[in-house]
Amino acid sequence: MNRSLYTTGIIFGWIFLAYGFLLAMAFLTLGFQLFQSPSFQIWRIVGAVIVLSGNTILLKYFKYKRYLVAFNTLLVALIAFLVTTIVEIAGGTGVLGYVTLYVYFGASITFFLSLIFSKVAERPLLKKAGIISLFIGFILILTFTLVLTYQGSQMVGTLFKIYIWVNILSSLIAIFYIQNFQQESGIKVSHA
């Protein structure tokens, strides 16, 4: 893989981290009003573009390294992400929204498992990303399911906050991909 693709992957990793940080700041400032804000759809679209762009680079990396299990599972997860995002932006709540989200969760879990148990696991940073992502994925599935189960309960607000914060903190996993790309490419980041 050429050096410019590694550099682009590193840049998108940092962009993803910045997006997660800005989303956290917006949530701290506005709370649940953030989701009612007219600009939230724009945030959602920008986030989707960042996720799709960064993961396209990751797909190229997996293809180049011949990590075919990771490539295929990530491709399925990205398709599920795209469908889920389109359904959400179109206002898809209810059964269709929930089904697409659970399909995305399942596809993502499969991808995380591929990072842990396939040839990709030879890269320790990617294996760590897989383990942490798997743990976070299960927390997201559990909290989202509990939110659906206990609708109308006072517990829902707390569960939804946990879901949002875990989702935001998951952006920190990009650090493992950034470090992996830096190691493989020999690119050093100056902390001057």
CB-based contact 78:60 (threshold 8 Å)? no
Q: Over the stretch 30-84, which tens digit does the pLDDT of each residue have?
A: 877 887 888 888 888 999 999 999 999 999 999 999 999 999 999 999 999 999 9
Q: Which of 188, 191, 171, 164 is nearest to 28 (CA)?
A: 164
Give the count of beta carbons closer than 10 Å to the beta carbon of residue 95: 8
Q: What is the mean pLDDT of the chain?
A: 90
Whether pLDDT at 29 is above 80:
yes
* Contacts of 176 by beta carbon, 8 Å cutoff, 6+ apart: 125, 126, 128, 129, 132
Whether pLDDT at 148 is above 90:
no
Position 159 scores a pLDDT of 83
Give the count of beta carbons closer than 10 Å to the beta carbon of residue 53: 14
Q: Over the stretch 97-129, which tens digit does the pLDDT of each residue have?
A: 889 999 999 999 999 999 999 999 999 999 999
